[in-house]
Amino acid sequence: MSDIPYKVYLSENEIPSAWYNVRADMKNKPAPLLNPGTGEALKAEDLMPIFCEELCKQEMNNDDKWIDIPGEVLDFYKMYRPSPLVRAYCLEKALGTPAHIYYKFEGNNTSGSHKLNSAIAQAYYAKKQGLKGVTTETGAGQWGTALSMATAYFGLDCQVYMVKVSYEQKPFRREVMRTYGATVTPSPSMTTNVGRKINEQFPGTDGSLGCAISEAVEAATSQEGYRYVLGSVLNQVLLHQSVIGLETKAALDKVGVKADMIIGCAGGGSNLGGLISPFVGEMLRGENQYEIIAVEPASCPSFTRGSYVYDFCDTGRVCPLAKMYTLGSNFMPAPNHAGGLRYHGMSSILSQLYADGYMKATSVKQTDVFAAAEQFARVEGILPAPESSHAIRVAIDEALKCKETGEAKNIVFGLTGTGYFDLVAYQKFNDGEMSDYIPTDDDIAKSLAQCPKF
Ligand SMILES: *Cc1c(COP(=O)(O)O)cnc(C)c1O
């Protein structure tokens, strides 16, 4: 056994003091957001009725490589960061692989995922601007939970539109949010114009992230002193999540390890973007080479089967247009249990990096994901979130390939969260009742045909 510890810990003062903005190092910048009415590129000012001022500036900032983390955000980070980088010795042994597997574990906080890293930053900027509160959507509930923790900390009101199917299936997640003081409304609701319209158009719908976004945006823009916040996809969120990658890089450097392969699950792309940013930065500057793999569910395959075009970010078509790998804003994924990976689109930053060949993508089937989750839980102890388990699946598969070739690759993956609220999904898997629905080419083509033409 090597002398690398099971957990590579950083000390509190090794938490980065600035976020890294990978856009500054990108030659091909991510495409700008467009006004859906005029088709013109948006400026920071155009976004200010929707988002907090400082966050609009971060959204548009393609130039500053480093953005200081405010002291109050750093203080909050210190309550649950640095997060450990774990050497998966037990998994390696179980697989009999010569590969060295590491995972960065972001589930060590009450919200149970990496989303708190951005929630606390966004709540801070809302507070600093003197707002009363924020509105948002949540799918599986992790983002809403993280945001309600963050808004409670800063004394802000928090209104969450929760995708109806999750609202009904995950009453405990809802209760955590309410415990932290948030108001939770199932979406589509009858409390917004767009919600009423969607309910009329699709009676009895289970809702989707795209619908809930439309409702939350309307709620923010129709109430004085409110802004909308989003937990993934946006450039600002990837920026905040760079804390994951910076810590990972610092921990690997500390033990003298160079990653060969970096793997992460991709829903809207925030954890993966944050994890890989400092590494991709080195690739962009020509300093180093890494193999980067995005893993998505076969039921919602934006990278692997979507198109790289301008599309709406939400079903109600009230948000700006983003150029991204998308399945179409009307795409309704099958009820996959990895709720956090069901978004139709993908971060513009990751989309551009993917188009430019800096990363690969692969999709995995739900039952294969849960098989990997259980294998991992039994040897490494942590009960992983279904989203995170997409990365586990591919990390295991890659480690098994190393067994064939005898290569001792350093494989690093992001373990984004824990699965305590996903036990209905685990139950389905354990009872052999989990399905693997994969959309047909026709399903995807139909949905993509409705993308706006630019
Ligand atoms: C939300 C979530 C994801 C996916 O979101 P990204 O923005 O793609 O990172 C992954 N894992 C967990 C645990 C989540 O809560």
Express each pLDDT in 77-123 by its tens digit.
999 999 999 999 999 999 999 999 999 999 999 999 999 999 999 99
Percent of the chain with pLDDT over 70: 100
Q: Which atom of ligand 1 is nearest to the CA of 113?
A: 13
What integer is the mean pLDDT of 194-207?
92
* Ligand 1 center–CA 344 separation, angstroms: 14
Query: ∠46-51-56 over CA atoms, to 5°?
Result: 65
Query: Ligand 1 test: best mutation among 122, 265, 337, most atoms within 8 Å of CB?
Result: 265
pLDDT band at 318 (very low <50, low <70, confident <90, very high): confident
* Ligand 1 center–CA 140 separation, angstroms: 10
Over the stretch 225-279, which tens digit does the pLDDT of each residue have? Answer: 999 999 999 999 999 999 999 999 999 999 999 999 999 999 999 999 999 999 9
Q: Is the pLDDT of residue 1 over 60?
A: no
Give bridge partners of residue 137 from the DSSP assignment.
161
Residue the block writes with tokens 């056994």: 1
CB contact at 8 A, 243 and 274: yes
Over the stretch 2-33, which tens digit does the pLDDT of each residue have? Answer: 689 999 989 999 999 999 999 999 999 999 99
Q: Is the pLDDT of residue 192 over 70?
A: yes
For ligand 1, atom 14, which residue shows the shortest CA distance? 340
Q: Which atom of ligand 1 is nearest to the CA of 418?
A: 13
* pTM for the structure as a whole: 0.97
| Domains of the chain with CATH codes | 7-15+81-110+236-448 (3.40.50.1100), 18-42+49-68+113-232 (3.40.50.1100)
pLDDT of residue 106: 98
pLDDT of residue 2: 65
Residue 200 CB neighbour total at 10 angstroms: 9
Residues in contact with ligand 1 (CB, 6 Å cut-off): 113, 115, 142, 232, 265-271, 340-341, 385, 387-388, 416-417
pLDDT band at 338 (very low <50, low <70, confident <90, very high): confident
Q: Is the pLDDT of residue 208 over 90?
A: no
Query: Ligand 1 test: best mutation among 104, 243, 341, most atoms within 8 Å of CB?
Result: 341
**Taking all residues of the chain, what is their mean pLDDT, rounded to a whole number?**
95
pLDDT of residue 440: 95
pLDDT of residue 3: 85
Q: Is the pLDDT of residue 315 over 90?
A: no
**Bond prior to 386 in cis (omega within 30° of 0):** no
pLDDT of residue 153: 98
Q: Is the pLDDT of residue 182 over 60?
A: yes
Q: Which atom of ligand 1 is nearest to the CA of 106?
A: 13
* Ligand 1 center–CA 405 separation, angstroms: 32
CB contact at 8 A, 308 and 345: no
Over the stretch 357-376, which tens digit does the pLDDT of each residue have? Answer: 999 999 999 999 999 999 99
DSSP category for residue 26? -
* Ligand 1 center–CA 218 separation, angstroms: 24
Q: Which two tokens stand for residue 302?
A: 């934006």
pLDDT of residue 291: 98
Longest C-alpha distance within the chain, in Å? 62
pLDDT band at 151 (very low <50, low <70, confident <90, very high): very high
Percent of the chain with pLDDT over 90: 87
CB contact at 8 A, 2 and 329: no
Q: How far is CA 158 from CA 7, 163, 185, 214, 257, in A?
A: 36, 16, 11, 16, 42
pLDDT of residue 340: 78
Q: Is the pLDDT of residue 452 over 80?
A: yes
Q: Which atom of ligand 1 is nearest to the CA of 142?
A: 15
The length of the chain is 454
What integer is the mean pLDDT of 42-69?
96
* Ligand 1 center–CA 444 separation, angstroms: 23
Over the stretch 211-226, which tens digit does the pLDDT of each residue have? Answer: 899 999 999 999 999 9
